[in-house]
Amino acid sequence: MSYELLTVDTVAGYVATRPALARFGAVSQVREVGDGNLNLVFVAAAERGGLVLKQALPYVRVDPTWPITPERNGIEGRALRVHNRVAPGLVPEIYDADPDRHVIAIEDLSDHRVWRGALNEGLRHEGVAAALGRYVAKVAFGTSVFGLGAKGHKAALATAANPELCEITEDLVFTEPYITHEHNRILPANVADVAAYVGDPDVRAAVGAAKLAFMTHAEALIHGDLHTGSVLVRDGSARAFDVEFAFYGPVGFDLGALWGNYVLAAARAVVLGDDAHAAWVLAQAEETWQGFAEEFTRSWPGRADPRIIDLDSYLAQVYADAVRFAAAKAARRVIGFSRVSDIESLPEDSRVRAIRAVLAAARLLLTAPGAGGEPKPLFERVGQVLSEASR
Ligand code: SR1
Ligand code: MG
């Protein structure tokens, strides 16, 4: 290890060495709260407020035999500064970035909670889905050719490559679930469900097209991993965090990540018999889309070059991308590496039904003719499919 990892005992001393953090004063209390796949995360209480330190490990936290570049921490810091500029109030503030120890210091949002957990409990945080749509729109406009102009976009793109983390997504989301791979974990009762999904030629063609779009459509500096575990909520507030997967990619990927995770949360609700919560969760797809489309449309008159490119055509392309990405993002969580509590915390018989339902919904999203245009009818159909497939 070429750099020293922080511990609860060394955080106070570390903060004292960082000029950018001097305004917080002495740290008095530290908790390690990291529960994701990759990083150490400390919440520190100091004389003049709280802060969070996030340090990249040089390996996957949940599988130390799997090396992963700690340079992602600097990539996250740079993306977070950009997102704070274009979408203030929708991401945590960033106070410091340390390229030697691979640490960023960010805003303490301990008065918020992770949205996935709240959704799992059947809680409704109104306005979060729309706020996230606005976040995606502000990033989509502010970091793209629309906000930066052609040359500005190319210059920004050149500073924001994230090949190693993109490769993780290419493998885990778009490839491994569709091949025989040691990461895949399939319950005996779901073997036929997975085989039907991954064996469908239309599914494979659509996922292949989605993978190519992910790899080549450098539209904006997207979040890159915008699942419901990357969102902090409080009444009246939503913040997207954990932007280490940020790169210049397709805008629809962030919207699709949210939609795919709404499908997972809804599948959980359906098998638990809470149809009202499932319907509410799926209705958030429309809320997110409206938040996105309205915010993007509001920004449109300020685009750098008003010639030729048509707003409605662009929104239609983002929508079509998002539908495919939603399916891929939901399916990967029930076949491959990195599972989610929505499904994993269910008893096995319910989990089998939820997984079957998620795969049926993903198949619908990837293959339904006429999925274009409107999320409301599409996600109402998703709700029907979840109910039917989980019986
Ligand atoms: C090895 S990283 C596994 C997953 O964790 C992150 O949240 C991303 O979703 C990634 O695919
Ligand atoms: Mg993450």
What six digits make up the tokens of 152? 């500005």
Confidence of residue 368 (pLDDT cuts 50, 70, 90): confident
Alpha-carbon distance 76 to 254, whole Å? 16
pLDDT band of 97, cuts 50, 70, 90: very high
Is the distance from the beta carbon of residue 225 to the nearest atom of ligand 1 less than 6 Å? yes
CA–CA–CA angle 5, 6, 11 (5° rounding) = 160
DSSP 116-135: HHHHHTT---TTHHHHHHHH
How many A from CA of 37 to the centre of ligand 1? 6
Q: How far is the CA of 12 from the centre of ligand 1 (A)?
A: 29
Minimum CA distance residue for ligand 1 atom 2: 37
Ligand 1 atom 4: residue of nearest CA: 338
H helix and E strand count, the chain: 14, 12
Question: What integer is the mean pLDDT of 87-103?
Answer: 98
pLDDT, tens digit (0-9, with 9 covering 90-100), for 7-53:
999 999 999 999 999 999 999 999 999 888 899 999 999 999 999 99
What is the model's pLDDT at position 370?
61
The reply to whether ligand 1 has any atom less than 6 angstroms from the CB of 60 is yes
List, in sequence order, the alpha helices (H) in 161-273.
163-174, 191-198, 201-216, 251-271
Distance from the CA of 46 to the center of ligand 1, in angstroms? 31
Cα–chain center distance at 273: 27
Mean pLDDT of the chain: 97
- pLDDT class for 373, splitting at 50, 70, 90? confident
Ligand 2: centre distance to CA 128 (Å): 18
Q: Can you tell me the distance from the alpha carbon of 146 to that of 48, in angstroms, rounded to the nearest whole number?
A: 40
Name 28's Cβ contacts closer than 8 Å, sequence gap at least 6: 12, 45, 46, 47
Is the Cα torsion angle 63, 64, 67, 71 positive or negative in sign? positive
The answer on pLDDT for 82 being more than 70 is: yes
145-158 vs 128-142: helix crossing angle, rounded to 10 = 70
Q: How confident is the model at residue 369 (pLDDT cuts 50, 70, 90)?
A: low
Mean pLDDT of 363-368: 94
User: Which pTM value belongs to this model?
Assistant: 0.98
- The residue that leads in pLDDT, 373 or 83, is 83
Ligand that comes closest to the CA of residue 230: 2
C-alpha–C-alpha distance, residues 250 and 275, integer Å: 33
- For residue 229, the ligand 1 atom closest to its alpha carbon is 7
Report pLDDT for 36.
Answer: 84
pLDDT at residue 1, as a whole number: 78
Q: Which of 358, 300, 372, 307 is nearest to 328 (CA)?
A: 358
How large is the average pLDDT for residues 266-271?
98
Ligand 1 neighbourhood includes 171 CB (under 6 angstroms): no
pLDDT digits (tens, 9 = 90+) for 294-340: 999 999 999 999 999 999 999 999 999 999 999 999 999 999 999 99
* Angle, CA of 266, 272 and 277, to the nearest 5°: 45
Atom number in ligand 1 closest to CA 168: 11
Best residue among 68, 168, 171 to mutate for probing ligand 1's pocket (most ligand atoms within 8 Å of CB) is 168
- High-pLDDT (> 70) share of the chain, %: 99
**Residue 57, ligand 1, Cβ within 6 A:** no
- How do the residues of the chain divide into helix, strand and coil, expressed in percent and rounded to 5? 55, 15, 30
Residue 37: predicted pLDDT: 87
| Helix axis angle, 72-86 to 128-142, nearest 10° | 100
